[in-house]
Amino acid sequence: MRCISIPRKIIINHNLCIRCLKCIRSCPAEILIQENLGGKISNEIIKITNPNLCFECRACEVICPVFAINVMCAVKNISAP
Ligand code: SF4
Ligand code: SF4
């Protein structure tokens, strides 16, 4: 059986995030970045640059110590080989 899924959404809860940057370091697609929205360190957020390059490995979700990331997937096609 083959299952193809597409990324629907990556939700990052900025209120929970402690800015450890583990998700950025863990992402094999290198699509997570840190962005400062102005001045203080509390204004730094984790952003996904190109969701289309995400292949839903969930490394970022698993490594986050405060469960701030949720990778949601949508199953697009299931077919027998
Ligand atoms: S699910 Fe994998 S590829 Fe997608 S953002 Fe997270 S670590 Fe990167
Ligand atoms: S791993 Fe979690 S807590 Fe650490 S920077 Fe990423 S989202 Fe924030």
**Ligand 1 pocket residues where CB is under 6 Å:** 10, 26-29, 31-32, 48, 54-60, 71
Q: Which ligand 2 atom is at minimum distance from the Cα of 12?
A: 7
**Nearest protein CA to atom 1 of ligand 2, as residue:** 64
Pair of tokens at residue 22: 């583990």
Q: How far is the CA of 14 from the centre of ligand 2 (A)?
A: 9
Q: How far is the CA of 36 from the centre of ligand 1 (A)?
A: 21
What pTM did the predictor assign?
0.81
Write the CATH number for 35: 3.30.70.20
How many domains are there within the chain? 1
**What's the pLDDT at 21?**
95
**What's the pLDDT at 44?**
84
Tens-binned pLDDT, residue by residue, of the chain (81 aa): 454 555 468 899 989 999 999 999 999 999 999 988 887 777 788 999 988 888 889 999 999 999 999 998 766 555 655
DSSP for the chain reads -EEEEEEEEEEE-TTT-----HHHHH-TT--EEEEESSSSGGGEEEEES-GGG-----HHHHH-TT--EEEEEEEEEEE--
**What's the pLDDT at 74?**
63
What is the Cα–Cα distance from 71 to 81, expressed in whole angstroms? 27
**What's the pLDDT at 22?**
97
Structural domain of residue 44, as residue ranges?
A: 2-79
Residue 53 in contact with residue 36, Cβ under 8 Å?
A: no
